Homo-oligomer: A and B are copies of this chain.
């Protein structure tokens, strides 16, 4: 039993590295980039509070487990902005990263989490669609409260934001309606540029 505990302590030390993986947006009010560990907490607690608004009934405890592990692959693969991350190469690097981290654990403890991570990535089940919807919200809130900081930095247009984030509506329709209204306002306020505008400029 003590050797199993030691393996889990080693895992706890290894996953500390997620606190040093930096994302592309800044927490509201802060002048530093968010890391993927604090992001993971934020989406877990947000999911809990939004569970009753899911498009289909979800098992919120499975959703939270998905969100606790969803970024572990970034310890090896790094964080990539959503507008560039969904390549086969990046997905493979993240999957290998998740496998390596889980391999630190006793087999009986790690069991099932790789499949749960894949289910999240595939985004096909109700639980995964809800989890993926939640995962997309903080970068939108960050940009909306930070003068479109990462949108500007990465030359992201409103069309790109809508394309990538429309999936929020699959998981949580009412949330997407509210966010769409905020994105329209962001365009009106000049935080987010539309391709239409740049063509006419």
Contacts and interface: CB of A to CB of B under 8 A. Distances in A.
B41 A30 contact: no
Number of copies: 2
B49 A105 contact: yes
A81 to B, nearest CB: 20
Contacts of A145: 13
B38 A30 contact: no
Interface in A26-81: 27-30, 34-35, 37-38, 40-42, 44-46, 48-50, 52-53, 61, 64-65, 68-69
Contact of A13 (B16, B19, B141): B141
Given A19-B30, A38-B41, A12 B178 contact: no
A119 to B, nearest CB: 16
Interface string A11-25: 111011111100000
Interface stretch (A2-10, A83-91, A125-133, A183-191): A2-10
Contact of A41 (B40, B52, B175): B40
Contacts of A45: 15, 68-69
Contact of A38 (B37, B105, B141): B37
A139 B115 CA distance: 31
A123 interface: no
Interface in A88-108: 105, 108
Contact of A9 (B16, B105, B177, B178): B178
